[in-house]
Amino acid sequence: MMLDGVDLSPYGMQNENLVEVQNGYLVDSSIVPFLNKLTESAKNSGFELRIESAYRPFEKQLSIWNRKARGELPLLSATGEPMEVPKDEKELTYAILTWSALPGASRHHLGTDIDVVDGASCPEGYEVELTPAECSGMFAKFHQFLSNAIEKDESFGFNRVFVSGRGKIRPEQWHIAHLPTSRKKLEKFSLDVLRRIYEQSDMACKKFVLANLEKLAEDYIYPYFV
């Protein structure tokens, strides 16, 4: 990809500060002390803060996007139910965006955001799906712990980003971000650079996305620059 002289770190293409934490997941090294404090706080309250997703490079997000477009990964409705893959490019784009970020615009590219659950509440052999049903079910007490910590300013800089009333992505209680660090990284984000990345990619629905990128950014990118 020919983008000489451009800082590609906000788009999941460059990050020299990644370190391994739980089970091989990668995060930006600067958030590790705060993550350790939150993990310890959770432990003291009887929870096992377990990471289910962390840093995600552009190519992985692009793969998720394209596989959903092809029907190789489940495409879920707003209520979390499996749905058929729309044939219309516009409908397909919005269907994917219900639960997945645009490649290059995912907050997981920053290394400051993680998806978390309570490992202590997982039945043996259970595969976490990161769904609203889990949040209101087996992980309800854990998410209440997180909510209380955030409200009391005892979450060490971590906060939820995908919340009701903010943009058009469905709320994700499991997704938390170290906001003081992510804000600095997002200062380098440029929609013009993202457009150039798409022009050189093999992204599904590329024609529709490029033609409507500004509107998509208003609804699915910029509301989450918090």
The model's confidence at residue 3, banded by pLDDT at 50, 70 and 90, is confident
Give pLDDT tens digits for 61-80.
999 999 999 999 999 888 87
Q: Give dist(CA 175, CA 101) in Å, integer.
A: 13
Q: pLDDT at position 188, please?
A: 94
pLDDT for 131-185, tens place per residue? Answer: 999 999 999 999 999 999 999 999 999 999 999 999 999 899 999 999 999 999 9
Residue 16 has pLDDT above 90, yes or no: no
The backbone torsions φ and ψ at residue 158, rounded to the nearest 5 degrees and listed phi first, read: -85, 145
- List % helix, strand, coil for the chain (3-state, nearest 5): 45, 10, 45
- Confidence (pTM): 0.92
Per-residue pLDDT, 43: 98
Q: From CA 185, how far away is CA 171, in angstroms rounded?
A: 23
CA-wise closest residue to 128 among 65, 162, 84, 173:
173
